[in-house]
Amino acid sequence: MLRLPGMSRVDVQQLKEIITAHRAWLRNERGGRRADLSLKVLRDLNLKGLNLPKAKLTGIQLINCDLSGANLRECDLFAANLAGSRFIGADCRDCDFRGAALQGADFSEAKLSGTDFREGSLLVSSGGSVEPPKRETWKSDKTDTAMNRADLTGAKLRNSIVRKADFSGAVLRNADLSGANFNGSTLKDVDLRGANLANCDLSGTQLNRAVVEGAFLDGAVLTDANVHGVDLKGAVYNSLDTSVTISVDDSAETQALIGEMILAHESWVTSSGLEGQRADFSNADLSGLDFSGRNLRGALFADSRLRSAKFHRSVLDLGDFSRCDLTGANFGASSLRGANFTGATLRRTDFSNCDLEVEVAVLADGKAREWPPRFNGCKLEETNFKDVKATRLIATNVVTKKIIADDAFLKLLAAGAT
């Protein structure tokens, strides 16, 4: 924890004078002075190519500034607020980023070897009291941190929180990531050789083709992590649960094939089977894929893994999801009339606002046939049935725990068991 006096703004002329004095300091020239922009506020500035290595920037607020190609090597950026700023291709080797706020910051292709991104806190004097500095606000749709293709060799991120960040193609060789939270981040094609990921939370991450030879993964959490193309045999660990991972091919060829299957199925539906082809996604790992808004009436998904898959506002009447793992899947506001979920795992699955009514069809002989939604043998845990439309279900041998639903639906579920 570090204590400093309060914050203040700096104008462009002051900044130029500070940069000039720092340049002289680097050259050991007379009148030179190390740049100290601690607790200064800089907003919306073009600082491309800035040469300010070894500067003291503790608690600086660099809001929406462009420092692409800048030389900030060995700078002290402890507890800095870097929201929305761009460090594309910048040299930030051996910088101290402990406690820094990185909302929307872009470090793409930056040199970040030897950097320290661990936790840290800063206190400033204000009105006789000591408190954390008030950070400048920055509003943007882009809030995720970008580290794609950055060199983070030997970086320290122990116990850091870097959720939903993009590290695609980054080099993290021999980095300390132990205890860090990478929940929902993209780590595709990352070099993790020799890195320490002990007790690291990698839930929901995209680890496709990551190189983990010699990486220490003991106790890492891999729930719904996509490990397609990852050779875990080369990693080092005593305890690692890989049963909760997913393996989805994200190649352009596979994505194109799935898209073609969906289009052919929609044609099959609209032409009553005269054109196109019924989609059969059975026995596949389709976890995390987005089928939202599509017409997949009667599609086959039996025995597939669909963890965290998205079916929001889709038409899935008479769809076959028997024995599927639908943990964390989202069916919100979809039509599921007559759908078959027999034997499916529906842990944390979202059915809110879904149409679960009985599907009625008139057969060739003129007789009407009814298909109620089927949940026989399902595992329902924290499953959300809030505001669904339903009048009859078939639900024998259902295992339930902490279901989110109104009393009317719970009665329907109970009645379906008889």
Rounded CA separation 247/48 (Å): 41
What is the 3-state secondary structure of the chain? CEEECCCEECCHHHHHHHHHHHHHHHCCCCCCCCCECCCEEEECCECCCCECCCCECCCCEEECCECCCCECCCCECCCCECCCCECCCCECCCCECCCCECCCCECCCCECCCCECCCCCEEEEECCEEECCCCCCCCCCCCCCECCCCECCCCECCCCECCCCECCCCECCCCECCCCECCCCECCCCECCCCECCCCECCCCECCCCECCCCECCCCECCCCECCCCCHHHCECCCCCCCCCECCCCCHHHHHHHHHHHHHHHHHHHCCCCCCCCCECCCCECCCCECCCCECCCCECCCCECCCCECCCCECCCCECCCCECCCCECCCCECCCCECCCCEEECCECCCCECCCEEEECCCCCEEEECCECCCCEEECCECCCCECCCCECCCCEEECCECCHHHHHHHHHCCC
Condensed to tens digits (0 to 9), the pLDDT of residues 38-69 reads 999 999 999 999 999 999 999 999 999 999 99
Rounded CA separation 45/9 (Å): 13
Q: Which stretch of DSSP H or E encloses residue 40?
A: strand 40-43
Structural domain includes residue 147: no
**pLDDT value at position 343?**
97
Condensed to tens digits (0 to 9), the pLDDT of residues 21-33 reads 999 999 999 999 9
Structural domain includes residue 192: no
Q: Smallest Cα–Cα separation from 89: which of 45, 40, 146?
A: 146
Structural domain includes residue 79: no
Condensed to tens digits (0 to 9), the pLDDT of residues 31-44 reads 999 999 999 999 99
- One-character DSSP codes across 250-283: --HHHHHHHHHHHHHHHHHHHTTTSSS---B-TT
Looking at residues 388-402, what average pLDDT do you find?
Answer: 94
**pLDDT value at position 133?**
66
**pLDDT value at position 2?**
47
Domain of residue 309, residue span: 249-418
For residue 342, the domain's CATH number is: 2.160.20.80
Q: Residue 104 in contact with residue 143, Cβ under 8 Å?
A: yes
Structural domain includes residue 82: no
Q: Residue 355 in contact with residue 334, Cβ under 8 Å?
A: yes
**pLDDT value at position 177?**
96
Condensed to tens digits (0 to 9), the pLDDT of residues 250-308 reads 888 999 999 999 999 999 999 999 999 999 999 999 998 999 999 999 999 999 999 98
Looking at residues 125-146, what average pLDDT do you find?
Answer: 68
Structural domain includes residue 301: yes
Condensed to tens digits (0 to 9), the pLDDT of residues 342-379 reads 999 999 999 999 999 999 987 777 788 899 999 999 99
Structural domain includes residue 323: yes
Structural domain includes residue 44: no
Number of domains in the chain: 1
Evaluate if residue 146 carries a pLDDT over 50.
Answer: yes
- The b/e string for 257-273 (b: 16+ C-beta within 10 A; e otherwise) is ebeebbeebbebbeeee
Structural domain includes residue 274: yes
Condensed to tens digits (0 to 9), the pLDDT of residues 69-119 reads 999 999 999 999 999 999 999 999 999 999 999 999 999 999 999 999 998
Q: Smallest Cα–Cα separation from 338: which of 364, 354, 356, 325?
A: 356
Cβ atoms within 10 Å of 366's Cβ, excluding its own: 6
pTM: 0.78
